């Protein structure tokens, strides 16, 4: 029997964000925007959903006089991502 996929992570952009963050401790919003190819508005919306779920932490601050948004993956996010990857692997074993 196939296990259900985490619907929050089963979105192309949210999965891309988590995939970037799983290997990097902390990144700026502009880096994620560049890596995912998303628009600022869509990326912001999807990151908000991930933060609401407790998968990422968003930190707003300043670099000199300029506002900077950074984020990092939480322990809960790492666990959810690993579980999602495990379920995907179980699907692929049946090929």
Q: Is 77 helix (H, G, I), strand (E, B) or coil?
A: helix
At 88 the pLDDT is 94
* Position 81 in a domain: yes
* Position 92 in a domain: no
At 94 the pLDDT is 74
How far is Cα 87 from Cα 94, in angstroms, rounded to an integer? 12
* Position 95 in a domain: no
Domain span including residue 55: 12-87
* Position 94 in a domain: no
**Tally of structural domains, the chain:** 1
* Position 29 in a domain: yes
Blockwise average pLDDT, block size 10, the chain, 95 residues: 90 97 94 97 98 98 95 97 95 82
Closest to 46 (Cα-Cα) out of 83, 4, 12: 12
pTM of the model: 0.92
- We report the CATH number of the domain holding residue 62 as 1.10.10.10
Contact of 76 with 54, CB cutoff 8 Å = yes
Closest to 29 (Cα-Cα) out of 1, 54, 60: 60
At 25 the pLDDT is 82
């Amino acid at each position: 029997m196939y296990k259900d996929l985490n619907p929050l992570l089963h979105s192309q952009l949210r999965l891309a964000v988590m995939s970037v963050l799983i290997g990097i401790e902390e990144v700026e919003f502009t880096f994620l925007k560049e890596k995912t190819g998303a628009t600022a508005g869509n990326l912001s919306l999807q990151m908000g959903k991930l933060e609401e779920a407790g998968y990422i932490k968003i930190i707003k601050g300043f670099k000199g006089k300029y506002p900077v948004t950074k984020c990092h993956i939480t322990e809960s996010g790492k666990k959810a991502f690993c579980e999602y990857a495990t379920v995907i692997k179980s699907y692929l074993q049946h090929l």
